[in-house]
C-alpha cells in the first residue's frame, strides 16, 4: 500500500478546462443538418484515490464524450487530463496501461465464450498465459460466472453479458476502473456481485472507480462523490448527501390520476402550473407544510375519486438535478 | 500500490512543492499528482497477436460456419457450371485455380471487410483501443484468422476441381504457400476497406465488389479478355495467387514464375496490412 499520509486526498485523475465541440454537419438527402454542438464545456474534475466517483446525467449530457476523452479514445479540443501523473491528452496510449475501461458495447467479445473473453482481454493487458488464466478463473469465480464460462456472450441474457464484460475488465489489475453504466440490465444478484468485487479491490488495492450512470438510485447508494452533468457542463459536484442537502427543504409529491386531473377542483387546478406533468403523473416539489396540505386536499373530497396513487418522498438526486436547472425532464431513471 | 513514494522512477514535471509537503497533509485536491505512476505492462506483439488469432478462430465456431460453407459451395458451383463450357487444357487450369482462390477472396476480403466495418461502427474497436495492445497485433491476428478460415474451402475446391477437369493433384501442395500469401494480400485489403470505410454499408459494399472482381476476373480464362479488362485483372492481387496455382497444373511448371507471382502476393500483403494497421490506429482514436 502507498505510505501516503492521506491517501484519500491523492488526486488520481485531474481534468482541467476540458472542451469538445462537434462540428456542424451540413444536411444531406435524408439527414437533416445539425448545428455545432458543444458536447463538453470547460469541465474541471478531481477524482481522488480509492473513491467511487460518479458522472450522473441524462442521456446526451456528455457523459460518454467525457469518458472517451479520459480513456484516450478521443482527443479534446482544449484542456488537460492527467491520470496518476500522466498527460493523457498528449499520450493517449498510456491510458490503456493505467485504467481498465468497460464501455457500453460488447461487440468485440460477443462471439467469444465468457472464459475466452476474459482470458484474451487479460493477455492483451500484458499478462502471460498462466497469469491470464489464473486471474480469469479467480474473477469468474468471484462473479459467479464459472457455470456459464463455456457459453458465448451472445447467447447470454443482457445482464449476464454485461457481467461477463465486467469480468473481462477486471482481469489484469488496474489502479483505475472506468465503468460506463456497468449494471444495465442486471438482476439484483449480479449487481451485488459487481459492487462487492469493486469494494474488494478498493479495500485491497485502493482502486479508484469512475462510474457513469443515469440511475439515481444506484448513484445514491454506491457513489462517494458525484458530478452532475448537464449539456456538457458540470452543474454540481459533491457527495450525494451533500447535494441532497441543497434541496433538503423540499418534499417530492407524486400524484397519479385515474384518467385525468380533476381540474374542476380549484385546489387541483391551482397546483397544475407547479407540477411537472408526464401523462397521468404529476410531480411536485414543495415545502413540507405545503405537501401536507396537498395530500390532505387530494385524499379528501372530490379530488380523491380521480386519484389513482400518490407518493410522498424525500428528495433524490433527480430532484437535485432539476433544482440545479437541469434541462432534461426525462432521462434519469429510478430502477 | 501505484503511488509508492520510493518507487517513482522519473520526475517528468518539476514540482516546486517538495513531496514531503504534499504527502504531509497539504490539501492536494487542487493540484494534480506530480509524480507519474508506474505504467502497467504493454502487451508484446507476438503474444497478443496469438491471443487475438486464437480468439478470432474460436469465433468461427459461433458465427462464421454458415458463410464458410457458402464460400465453398459458391466455388464448387462455379466449377460445375464451367465444366459445361470449358473442355480442358489451360482454360481448365485457370478455372480451377480461380475458383480455389475465390474462396480466399470471399472469406479474407469480403467477410473481414464486413467484420471490421461492423466493429468500427458499433464501437467494438474501443475494447481493443483501451488495451495496451499493438495495433498490428489486432489487425494481423484477425487477418491471420480469416486467412485460416479459407483453408478447408480452398483445399476442397482445388481437389474437387482437379477431379472434375482431370488435372493432376501432384503440385497441390503449393496451396500451402498460395493460401497464406494470397490470404495476407486479400485479408489486408479487406481489413483496410473495413477500417477506412466511413460507414459499415460501404465496407460491405467494398468487400462485395472486391470479391466480385476476383470472381469475374479470376475464374474466366484471361486469353479471351479484351486488353483493358486484362489490365484490370493485372491490378487485382488475387490474380497472382490464381496464376501461381494455375502454373503448377501443367507438366514441368516454371517455378520461377510461380515464385514471382507469390512474391507479388507477399508484397501486396505487406503493404495492405501496413495500411490496415494505420487505418486501425486512425479509427481507434478519434
Q: For B44-61, what is each residue's pLDDT tens digit?
A: 999 999 999 999 999 887
Location of C-alpha cell 487542487: B30
Confidence of residue A18 (pLDDT cuts 50, 70, 90): very high
Location of C-alpha cell 502471460: A128
Residue numbers of A between 41 and 70 with CB closer than 8 Å to B: 46, 48-49, 68
Mean pLDDT, residues B158-163 taken together: 96
Query: Does the CB of A11 have a partner CB in chain B at under 8 Å?
Result: yes
Q: Which three cell numbers stand for residue A315?
A: 428528495
**Cα A121 off chain centre by:** 24
Contact predicate B153/B102, CB 8 Å: no
DSSP type of residue B28 = T
- Residue A8: pLDDT above 60? no
Mean pLDDT, residues B63-73 taken together: 78
How far lies A132's CA from each of A143, A170, A182, A295, B28, in Å? 16, 11, 22, 59, 36
Examine residue A319 and state whether it is found in any structural domain, yes or no: no
Examine residue B222 and state whether it is found in any structural domain, yes or no: yes
Examine residue A121 and state whether it is found in any structural domain, yes or no: yes
Angle at Cα A316 formed by Cα A176 and Cα A63, nearest 5°? 40
What integer pLDDT is reported at residue A320 of this predicted model? 82
Residue with the bigger pLDDT between A13 and A217: it is A13
Examine residue A206 and state whether it is found in any structural domain, yes or no: yes
- Residue B21: pLDDT above 70? no
* Boundary (domain end) residue, out of A216, A241, A266: A241
Asked if the Cβ–Cβ distance from A96 to B30 is below 8 Å, we say no
* Boundary (domain end) residue, out of A195, A212, A241: A241
Distance (Å, whole) CA B149 – CA B180 = 11
Asked if A237 and A258 sit in the same domain, the reply is: no
**DSSP three-state, residue B11:** coil
**Number of structural domains chain B divides into:** 1
Q: Determine what percent of chain A is predicted with pLDDT higher than 70.
A: 94
Using a CB-CB cut-off of 8 Å, the residues of chain B touching A180 are: none
Q: What is the pLDDT of residues B2-19, one digit of tens each?
A: 443 433 333 333 333 333
Among candidates B33, B37, B132 on the partner chain, residue whose Cβ is nearest the Cβ of A96: B132
Q: Which three cell numbers stand for residue B205?
A: 459494399
Residues 6 or more apart in contact with residue A18 via CB below 8 angstroms:
A40, A42, A43, A44, A66, A69, A76, A78, A79, A80, A81
Q: What is the pLDDT of residues A263-293, one digit of tens each?
A: 888 888 888 888 888 888 888 888 888 888 8
> Which of A6-20, A117-131, A153-167 comes out lowest in average pLDDT?
A6-20
Confidence of residue A219 (pLDDT cuts 50, 70, 90): confident
**Number of structural domains chain A divides into:** 2
Distance (Å, whole) CA A200 – CA B209 = 53
What integer pLDDT is reported at residue B16 of this predicted model? 37
Contact predicate A72/A96, CB 8 Å: yes
Query: Dihedral of CA B141/B143/B149/B150: which sign?
Result: negative
- Residue B26: pLDDT above 80? no
Asked if A213 and A268 sit in the same domain, the reply is: no
Asked if A254 and A231 sit in the same domain, the reply is: no
Smallest CA-to-CA distance from B86 within B72, B69, B99 is with B99
Query: Does the CB of A105 have a partner CB in chain B at under 8 Å?
Result: yes
Examine residue A143 and state whether it is found in any structural domain, yes or no: yes
Confidence of residue B117 (pLDDT cuts 50, 70, 90): very high
Task: Quote the minimal CA–CA distance from A280 to chain B in Å.
Answer: 37
Would you mind telling me the total number of residues written for chain A in this entry?
Answer: 335
Examine residue A26 and state whether it is found in any structural domain, yes or no: yes
Examine residue B40 and state whether it is found in any structural domain, yes or no: no
Among candidates A75, A98, A123 on the partner chain, residue whose Cβ is nearest the Cβ of B51: A123
Examine residue B10 and state whether it is found in any structural domain, yes or no: no
pLDDT mean across residues, chain B = 85
Contact predicate B165/B219, CB 8 Å: no
What integer pLDDT is reported at residue B134 of this predicted model? 94
Cα pseudo-dihedral B21, B25, B31, B32, rounded to 10: 90
Examine residue B238 and state whether it is found in any structural domain, yes or no: yes
What integer pLDDT is reported at residue B34 of this predicted model? 58
Q: Which three cell numbers stand for residue B170?
A: 501432384
Distance (Å, whole) CA A26 – CA B217 = 40
pLDDT mean across residues, chain A = 89
How far lies A55's CA from each of A226, A232, A235, A264, B83, in Å? 6, 11, 11, 43, 66
Mean pLDDT, residues B60-89 taken together: 84
What integer pLDDT is reported at residue B5 of this predicted model? 42
Examine residue A187 and state whether it is found in any structural domain, yes or no: yes
Distance (Å, whole) CA B93 – CA B246 = 5
Q: Give the domain extent around B229.
A: 45-284
Among candidates B13, B47, B123 on the partner chain, residue whose Cβ is nearest the Cβ of A105: B123
Mean pLDDT, residues A168-175 taken together: 95
Examine residue A25 and state whether it is found in any structural domain, yes or no: yes
Asked if A132 and A254 sit in the same domain, the reply is: no
Examine residue B231 and state whether it is found in any structural domain, yes or no: yes
Query: Does the CB of A86 have a partner CB in chain B at under 8 Å?
Result: yes
Examine residue B21 and state whether it is found in any structural domain, yes or no: no
What integer pLDDT is reported at residue A329 of this predicted model? 55
Residue numbers of B between 111 and 140 with CB closer than 8 Å to A: 118-119, 122-133, 137
Examine residue B33 and state whether it is found in any structural domain, yes or no: no
Q: Give the domain extent around A278.
A: 249-314
Residue with the bigger pLDDT between B187 and A317: it is B187
Examine residue A265 and state whether it is found in any structural domain, yes or no: yes
Tell me which H or E stretch contains B69. Answer: helix B65-83
Asked if A237 and A255 sit in the same domain, the reply is: no
- Residue A5: pLDDT above 80? no
Mean pLDDT, residues B75-88 taken together: 90
- Residue A206: pLDDT above 50? yes
What integer pLDDT is reported at residue B28 of this predicted model? 38
Residue with the bigger pLDDT between B20 and B237: it is B237
Contact predicate A179/A209, CB 8 Å: yes
Asked if A275 and A152 sit in the same domain, the reply is: no
How far lies A210's CA from each of A45, A63, A66, in Å? 11, 11, 11
Residue with the bigger pLDDT between B34 and B98: it is B98
Asked if A179 and A236 sit in the same domain, the reply is: yes
Residue with the bigger pLDDT between B32 and B10: it is B32
Q: Which CATH number fits the domain that encloses residue A21?
A: 3.40.50.300
What integer pLDDT is reported at residue B142 of this predicted model? 94
- Residue A167: pLDDT above 60? yes
Q: How many CB atoms lie within 10 A of CB B229?
A: 14
Radius of gyration of chain A measured on its C-alpha atoms:
23
What integer pLDDT is reported at residue B88 of this predicted model? 80
Asked if the Cβ–Cβ distance from B29 to A46 is below 8 Å, we say yes
Confidence of residue A4 (pLDDT cuts 50, 70, 90): very low
Mean pLDDT, residues A44-71 taken together: 92
Asked if A46 and A109 sit in the same domain, the reply is: yes
Please state the three-class secondary structure of chain A as a single string. CCCCCCHHHCEEEEEEEEEEEECCECCECCECCECCEEEEEEEEEEEECCCEEEEECCCCCCHHHHHHHHCCCCCCCEEEEEECCEECCCCHHHHHHHEEEECCCCCCCCCCEHHHHHHHHHHHCCCCHHHHHHHHHHHHHHCCCHHHCCCEHHHCCHHHHHHHHHHHHHCCCCCEEEEECCCCCCCHHHHHHHHHHHHHHHHHHCCEEEEEECEHHHHHHHCCEEEEEECCEEEEEECHHHHHHCCCCCEEEEEEECCCCCCCCHHHHHHHHHCEEECCEEEEEECHHHHHHHHHHHHCCHHHHHEEEEEEECCCHHHHHHHCCCCCCCCCECC
> Which of A55-64, A79-88, B11-20, B30-39 comes out lowest in average pLDDT?
B11-20
Asked if A218 and A304 sit in the same domain, the reply is: no
Examine residue B26 and state whether it is found in any structural domain, yes or no: no
Contact predicate B56/B115, CB 8 Å: no
**DSSP three-state, residue B178:** helix
**Cα B103 off chain centre by:** 13
Asked if A194 and A265 sit in the same domain, the reply is: no
Q: How many CB atoms lie within 10 A of CB A191?
A: 18
Residue numbers of A between 114 and 173 with CB closer than 8 Å to B: 116-117, 119-121, 123-129, 152, 154, 172
- Residue A186: pLDDT above 90? yes
Q: Which residues pair with A229 in a beta bridge?
A: A234
Residue with the bigger pLDDT between B208 and B20: it is B208
Query: Dihedral of CA A57/A59/A61/A66: which sign?
Result: positive
Amino acid at each position: 500500500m502507498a505510505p501516503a499520509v492521506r491517501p484519500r486526498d491523492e488526486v488520481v485523475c485531474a481534468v482541467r478546462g476540458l472542451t469538445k465541440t462537434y462540428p456542424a454537419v451540413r444536411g444531406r438527402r435524408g439527414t437533416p443538418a445539425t448545428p455545432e454542438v458543444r458536447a463538453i464545456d470547460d469541465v474541471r474534475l478531481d477524482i481522488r484515490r480509492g473513491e467511487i466517483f460518479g458522472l450522473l446525467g441524462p442521456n446526451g449530457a456528455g457523459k460518454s464524450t467525457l469518458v472517451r476523452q479520459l480513456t484516450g479514445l478521443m482527443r479534446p479540443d482544449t484542456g488537460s487530463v492527467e491520470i496518476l501523473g500522466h498527460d493523457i491528452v498528449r499520450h493517449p496510449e498510456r491510458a490503456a496501461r493505467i485504467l481498465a475501461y468497460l464501455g457500453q458495447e460488447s461487440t468485440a467479445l460477443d462471439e467469444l465464450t465468457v472464459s475466452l473473453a476474459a482470458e484474451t482481454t487479460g493477455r492483451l493487458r500484458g499478462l502471460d498465459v498462466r497469469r491470464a488464466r489464473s486471474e480469469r478463473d479467480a474473477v469468474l469465480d468471484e462473479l459467479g460466472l464459472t457455470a456459464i464460462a463455456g457459453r458465448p456472450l451472445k447467447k447470454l441474457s443482457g445482464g449476464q453479458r454485461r457481467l461477463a464484460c465486467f469480468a473481462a475488465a477486471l482481469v489484469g489489475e488496474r489502479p483505475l476502473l472506468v465503468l460506463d453504466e456497468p449494471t444495465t440490465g442486471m438482476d439484483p444478484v449480479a449487481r451485488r456481485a459487481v459492487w462487492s468485487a469493486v469494494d474488494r479491490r478498493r479495500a485491497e488495492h485502493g482502486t479508484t472507480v469512475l462510474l457513469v450512470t443515469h440511475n439515481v438510485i444506484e448513484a445514491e447508494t454506491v457513489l462517494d462523490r458525484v458530478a452532475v452533468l448537464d449539456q456538457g457542463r458540470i452543474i454540481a459536484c459533491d457527495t450525494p448527501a451533500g447535494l441532497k442537502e441543497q434541496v433538503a427543504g423540499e418534499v417530492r409529491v407524486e400524484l397519479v390520476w385515474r384518467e385525468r386531473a380533476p381540474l374542476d377542483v380549484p385546489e387541483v387546478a391551482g397546483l397544475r402550473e407547479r407540477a411537472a406533468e408526464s401523462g397521468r403523473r404529476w410531480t411536485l416539489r414543495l415545502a413540507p407544510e405545503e405537501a401536507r396540505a396537498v395530500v390532505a386536499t387530494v385524499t379528501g373530497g372530490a379530488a380523491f375519486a380521480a386519484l389513482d396513487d400518490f407518493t410522498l418522498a424525500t428528495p433524490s438526486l433527480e430532484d437535485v438535478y432539476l433544482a440545479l436547472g437541469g434541462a432534461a425532464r426525462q432521462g434519469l431513471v429510478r430502477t | 500500490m501505484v503511488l509508492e513514494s520510493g518507487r517513482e522512477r522519473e520526475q517528468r514535471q518539476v514540482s516546486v512543492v517538495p513531496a514531503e509537503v504534499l504527502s504531509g497533509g497539504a490539501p492536494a485536491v487542487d493540484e494534480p499528482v506530480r509524480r507519474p505512476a508506474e505504467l502497467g505492462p504493454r502487451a508484446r506483439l507476438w503474444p497478443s497477436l496469438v491471443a487475438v488469432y486464437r480468439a478470432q478462430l474460436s469465433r468461427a465456431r459461433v458465427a462464421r460456419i454458415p458463410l464458410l460453407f457458402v464460400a465453398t459451395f459458391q466455388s464448387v458451383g462455379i466449377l460445375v457450371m464451367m465444366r459445361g463450357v470449358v473442355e480442358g487444357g489451360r482454360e481448365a487450369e485457370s478455372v480451377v485455380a480461380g475458383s480455389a482462390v475465390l474462396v480466399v477472396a470471399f472469406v479474407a476480403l469480403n467477410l473481414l471487410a464486413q467484420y471490421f466495418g461492423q466493429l468500427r461502427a458499433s464501437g467494438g474497436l474501443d475494447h481493443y483501443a483501451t488495451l495496451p495492445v499493438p495495433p498490428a497485433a489486432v489487425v494481423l491476428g484477425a487477418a491471420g484468422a480469416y486467412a485460416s478460415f479459407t483453408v478447408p474451402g480452398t483445399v476442397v475446391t482445388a481437389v474437387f476441381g482437379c477431379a472434375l477437369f482431370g488435372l493432376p493433384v501432384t503440385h497441390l501442395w503449393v496451396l500451402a504457400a498460395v493460401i497464406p500469401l494470397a490470404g495476407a494480400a486479400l485479408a489486408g485489403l479487406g481489413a483496410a476497406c473495413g477500417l477506412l470505410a466511413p460507414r459499415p454499408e460501404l465496407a460491405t459494399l467494398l468487400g462485395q465488389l472486391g470479391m466480385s472482381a476476383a470472381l469475374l476476373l479470376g475464374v474466366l480464362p484471361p486469353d479471351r479478355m479484351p486488353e483493358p479488362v486484362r489490365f484490370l485483372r493485372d491490378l487485382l492481387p488475387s490474380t497472382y495467387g490464381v496464376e501461381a496455382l494455375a502454373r503448377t497444373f501443367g507438366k514441368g511448371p516454371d517455378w520461377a514464375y510461380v515464385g514471382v507471382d507469390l512474391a507479388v502476393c507477399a508484397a501486396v500483403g505487406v503493404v495492405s496490412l501496413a495500411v490496415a494497421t494505420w487505418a486501425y490506429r486512425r479509427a481507434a482514436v478519434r
